[in-house]
Amino acid sequence: MIGYLLRRLIGTIPVIVLISLLVFLLIHATPGDPADLLLSDQASPSDIAEARHQWGLDQPIYVQYARFLINVLEGDFGTSFRYSDPVITLIGERLPATIELAFVSLLIAVAFGVPLGVWAGAKPNSWADNFGSFFGFFGISMPSFWFGIMLILVIAGYLNWLPSSGRSTYGIPGGSESGFYIAESLLSGNFQAAWDGIRHIIMPAIALGTNMMGIIMRVTRSAVLEVMHEDYVRTARAKGIDESAVLWRHVLRNALVPVITVGGLELGTLLSGSIIVETVFAWPGSGSLLISAIQSRDYPLITGTVVIYTLAFVAINFMIDILYAAVDPRIRFEK
């Protein structure tokens, strides 16, 4: 296992270097001089010349790249034009909101997707299967941003059941140290604040999780369909075990392996989906930070967010591969 871990870790390093190269090339492909972009509009020609020297823009391109790579590795993405704070601090403040939203969306996707998939897969071509498949197609075809707008229109607008935007009505008394509103309120026993946080997160989480629910439902369905014909399922039935126990104890446990894998792969979709859902619901996460940075042409902040999202995604996939190898020993013995 340790050998596999090391092999995978070493395999990650060139990818990270190449990711930084791609982002570096993108910045350099931007029309105009990077110094013009990285300085505000008020900068004078002498400011620009000084900045060019200071940032090493008068150096050969490979020196510039090496410098960029070292800065990225040190977590130094420069200072935001708009907020005048270090980029890494700004993203750090907003990241918990995004993680909280992604986690609840994942929970919703799994809580609905897996049972629907098992239900559909256990009885192929029945009405349950048709119903489940309808939800599957609904989920994978639904644009999250439109679904979010419609939820706001109906649930917040007409029915007035849930708040339409933000993370909390009044904020946590005394502020939130970790940035995880719901978890922190629950742990400190402040159930009113926790309930307020939950009410705010429901709609964005549904909008974000629906697509993943559709994917998980479809994967679960096909995995269950496959496992249903295995010998050990027939054996379990022959032993006279109750059908629901066969389904949940024998079938689902074996069908879950591909579900975990696909679920893990789709976390990236969830991450990038959060960028757009956060914008719809004015959710104060790092995704909406990226969009406002693009609108104000805050290039250091854009670069920082893109690199951090990508590195987070690489890290998530790395962990899922490790988890998967722990669950399925066949993988770690492969070259």
Contacts to another protein from residues 134-163, by CB under 8 A: 136-138, 140-143, 145-146, 149-150, 152-153, 157
15 within 8 A of 314, measured Cβ to Cβ: yes
Using rule CB under 8 A, residue 69 touches another protein: no
Residue 125 vs 244, nearer CB to another protein: 125
Residues of span 174-213 touching another protein by CB under 8 A: none
Residue 167 vs 218, nearer CB to another protein: 218
77 within 8 A of 307, measured Cβ to Cβ: yes
Q: What are phi and psi of 174, to 5 degrees?
A: 85, 0
Rounded Cα distance between 121 and 247, Å, is 10
Q: How far is the CB of 234 from another protein (least distance, A)?
A: 21
Rounded Cα distance between 62 and 93, Å, is 33
Using rule CB under 8 A, residue 309 touches another protein: yes
Using rule CB under 8 A, residue 103 touches another protein: no
Q: What are phi and psi of 86, to 5 degrees?
A: -60, 140
Residues of span 222-251 touching another protein by CB under 8 A: 222
CA 236, 221, 234: angle at the middle one, nearest 5?
Answer: 15
Residue in the block written with tokens 């029309």: 31
Using rule CB under 8 A, residue 173 touches another protein: no
- DSSP letter string over 35-62? HHHHS-TT--HHHHHHHHHHTTTTS-HH
Q: How far is the CB of 132 from another protein (least distance, A)?
A: 11
Binding mask 316-335 for another protein (x = CB under 8 A): -xx-xx--xx--x-xx--xx
Q: Identify the three-state secondary structure at position 86.
A: strand
267 within 8 A of 316, measured Cβ to Cβ: yes
Binding mask 248-267 for another protein (x = CB under 8 A): ---------xx--xx-xx--
Stretch that binds another protein, among 53-61, 100-108, 230-238, 303-311 (CB under 8 A): 303-311
Residue 59 vs 261, nearer CB to another protein: 261
